[in-house]
Amino acid sequence: MSEGEKKYNNDEITIVWKPKVCIHSTLCWKGEKGLRQVFNPAEKPWIKPHGATSNEIIIRVNNCPSGALSFYYNDEANNSESAGIENIIEVLPNGPLLVFGNLKVIPI
Protein backbone atom coordinates (compact mmCIF):
# COMPACT_ATOMS: atom_id res chain seq x y z
CA MET A 1 0.00 0.00 0.00
CA SER A 2 1.35 3.43 -0.97
CA GLU A 3 2.05 6.06 1.67
CA GLY A 4 -1.18 7.73 2.77
CA GLU A 5 -3.34 5.39 0.69
CA LYS A 6 -6.67 4.44 2.30
CA LYS A 7 -8.81 1.38 1.56
CA TYR A 8 -12.53 0.87 2.15
CA ASN A 9 -14.24 -2.39 1.25
CA ASN A 10 -17.63 -3.99 1.02
CA ASP A 11 -18.20 -7.67 0.31
CA GLU A 12 -17.39 -7.36 -3.41
CA ILE A 13 -14.93 -4.51 -4.01
CA THR A 14 -12.29 -2.42 -2.25
CA ILE A 15 -12.16 1.32 -2.95
CA VAL A 16 -8.66 2.79 -2.84
CA TRP A 17 -8.23 6.52 -2.16
CA LYS A 18 -4.90 8.32 -2.64
CA PRO A 19 -5.31 11.68 -0.84
CA LYS A 20 -2.06 13.09 -2.23
CA VAL A 21 -3.37 12.61 -5.78
CA CYS A 22 -6.89 13.96 -5.15
CA ILE A 23 -7.71 17.31 -6.83
CA HIS A 24 -11.05 17.59 -5.00
CA SER A 25 -13.15 17.80 -8.15
CA THR A 26 -16.20 16.72 -6.05
CA LEU A 27 -17.48 14.56 -8.95
CA CYS A 28 -17.67 11.54 -6.65
CA TRP A 29 -20.24 13.11 -4.33
CA LYS A 30 -21.77 16.25 -5.88
CA GLY A 31 -24.35 16.66 -8.62
CA GLU A 32 -27.04 14.34 -9.91
CA LYS A 33 -24.54 11.54 -10.57
CA GLY A 34 -22.69 11.95 -7.27
CA LEU A 35 -22.96 9.25 -4.61
CA ARG A 36 -23.30 11.27 -1.40
CA GLN A 37 -24.34 8.11 0.47
CA VAL A 38 -20.89 6.63 -0.33
CA PHE A 39 -18.59 9.67 -0.65
CA ASN A 40 -19.32 12.29 2.01
CA PRO A 41 -16.41 14.52 3.09
CA ALA A 42 -18.47 15.91 5.99
CA GLU A 43 -18.38 12.49 7.72
CA LYS A 44 -15.67 10.20 9.08
CA PRO A 45 -14.83 7.91 7.43
CA TRP A 46 -15.69 9.86 4.32
CA ILE A 47 -16.08 6.73 2.17
CA LYS A 48 -18.82 4.26 3.11
CA PRO A 49 -18.67 1.39 0.58
CA HIS A 50 -21.98 -0.12 1.69
CA GLY A 51 -23.91 3.04 0.70
CA ALA A 52 -24.57 1.94 -2.90
CA THR A 53 -24.17 -1.06 -5.15
CA SER A 54 -20.69 -2.03 -6.27
CA ASN A 55 -21.63 -1.21 -9.88
CA GLU A 56 -22.73 2.32 -8.93
CA ILE A 57 -19.50 2.84 -7.01
CA ILE A 58 -17.38 1.52 -9.90
CA ILE A 59 -18.98 4.01 -12.30
CA ARG A 60 -18.22 6.93 -9.95
CA VAL A 61 -14.68 5.74 -9.26
CA ASN A 62 -13.96 5.31 -12.98
CA ASN A 63 -15.00 8.94 -13.52
CA CYS A 64 -12.48 10.33 -11.01
CA PRO A 65 -10.46 12.81 -13.11
CA SER A 66 -7.29 12.63 -11.00
CA GLY A 67 -7.12 8.87 -10.51
CA ALA A 68 -7.16 9.36 -6.73
CA LEU A 69 -10.00 6.86 -6.52
CA SER A 70 -9.61 3.33 -7.82
CA PHE A 71 -11.01 -0.08 -6.95
CA TYR A 72 -10.36 -3.75 -7.22
CA TYR A 73 -12.51 -6.82 -6.80
CA ASN A 74 -11.83 -8.48 -3.46
CA ASP A 75 -11.61 -11.99 -4.90
CA GLU A 76 -8.92 -10.85 -7.38
CA ALA A 77 -6.92 -8.75 -4.92
CA ASN A 78 -5.44 -11.67 -3.03
CA ASN A 79 -4.23 -13.31 -6.22
CA SER A 80 -2.46 -10.22 -7.56
CA GLU A 81 -1.02 -9.05 -4.22
CA SER A 82 0.30 -12.46 -3.27
CA ALA A 83 1.94 -12.82 -6.68
CA GLY A 84 3.61 -9.40 -6.34
CA ILE A 85 2.24 -8.21 -9.68
CA GLU A 86 2.56 -4.50 -10.45
CA ASN A 87 0.61 -2.49 -12.98
CA ILE A 88 3.02 -0.62 -15.24
CA ILE A 89 2.37 1.75 -18.14
CA GLU A 90 5.37 2.52 -20.33
CA VAL A 91 5.22 5.44 -22.76
CA LEU A 92 7.24 4.85 -25.93
CA PRO A 93 8.59 7.85 -27.89
CA ASN A 94 6.25 8.60 -30.81
CA GLY A 95 4.52 5.32 -30.19
CA PRO A 96 1.91 3.45 -28.24
CA LEU A 97 1.57 2.82 -24.53
CA LEU A 98 2.76 -0.55 -23.28
CA VAL A 99 0.57 -1.77 -20.42
CA PHE A 100 1.70 -4.61 -18.14
CA GLY A 101 0.15 -6.16 -15.06
CA ASN A 102 -2.92 -7.78 -13.65
CA LEU A 103 -5.56 -5.74 -15.44
CA LYS A 104 -9.23 -6.22 -16.12
CA VAL A 105 -10.69 -4.44 -19.16
CA ILE A 106 -14.34 -3.53 -18.65
CA PRO A 107 -16.21 -2.54 -21.81
CA ILE A 108 -18.56 0.42 -21.51
Residue 93 pLDDT level (bands cut at 50, 70, 90)? confident
pTM of the model: 0.67
Q: Is residue 32 part of a domain?
A: yes
Q: Is residue 80 part of a domain?
A: yes
pLDDT per residue over 69-90, tens digit each? 999 999 864 544 444 456 778 8
Helix (H, G, I), strand (E, B) or coil at 7: strand
**pLDDT at residue 48, rounded to an integer:** 96
Q: Is residue 15 part of a domain?
A: yes
Residue 66: is its pLDDT beyond 60? Answer: yes
Q: Is residue 108 part of a domain?
A: no
> Vertex 15, ends 96 and 81: CA angle to 5°?
70
Q: By the 8 A CB rule, do 14 and 24 touch?
A: no
Q: Is residue 93 part of a domain?
A: yes
CA distances from 1 to 40, 52, 81 (A): 23, 25, 10
Residue 57 host element (H or E): helix 54-62
Q: Is residue 16 part of a domain?
A: yes
**pLDDT at residue 5, rounded to an integer:** 92
The whole domain housing 48 covers 6-100
Per the structure, the count of domains in the chain is 1
Q: Is residue 94 part of a domain?
A: yes
Q: Is residue 107 part of a domain?
A: no
